[in-house]
Amino acid sequence: MSLALHWTWKRFDDLGVHALHDALALRCRVFIMEQGPYQDPDDADKHAWHLLGCDDAGRLMACLRVVDPGVKFAEPAIGRVVTAPEVRGQGLGRVLMQEGMARCRQAWPGRAVRISAQARLQPFYGALGFAAASAQYLEDDIPHIEMLWEPRSLP
């Protein structure tokens, strides 16, 4: 059973310093502390919708970003998908991605969505309708693969 979170979408300029801090801190905790150092905040953050999932106490437990088309890829791109370690295994990653995909369908109807997925997560994203769209490559010393979701992939 999935932990119920309160979901909020914000553009970068509307995040506010506290929400921005919380999002970057969670991303750092997972992407840098668990996976090794790399430059996490980038210019794509400024051109993205940010989804924040907070628990009843207001603590950020999950977040992702949806980058506008033409910034990272020709298509809109979902990335920086992260859940706090203490709430993993409760289905939040799936819910988070479904929310991100819904935002893409709403903002850019009929458009495909591209992700740069860690290769080990290919089955997870495949179950959401994404298909491999590149050979594996290294990004920050972690094997990745581009994956594409086509509008016909889900009803």
Q: Domain extents for the chain? A: 6-153
CA 97 – CA 114 distance, rounded (Å): 12
Q: Are 101 and 126 in contact (CB under 8 A)?
A: no
Residue among 14, 133, 141, 35 at smallest CA distance from 81: 35
Specify the CATH number of the domain 6-153.
3.40.630.30
Q: Which two tokens stand for residue 48?
A: 């993205």
Question: What pLDDT is stored for residue 36 in this prediction?
Answer: 60
DSSP characters over 118-134: EGGGHHHHHTTTEEE-S
pLDDT by 10s per residue, the chain, length 155:
457 888 888 888 888 877 877 787 777 776 665 666 655 667 788 899 999 999 999 888 999 999 999 999 999 999 999 999 898 899 999 999 999 999 999 999 999 999 999 999 999 999 999 999 999 999 888 899 999 999 875 54
CA 23 – CA 19 distance, rounded (Å): 6
pTM: 0.81
Question: What pLDDT is stored for residue 45 in this prediction?
Answer: 83
Residue among 99, 98, 64, 100 at smallest CA distance from 81: 64
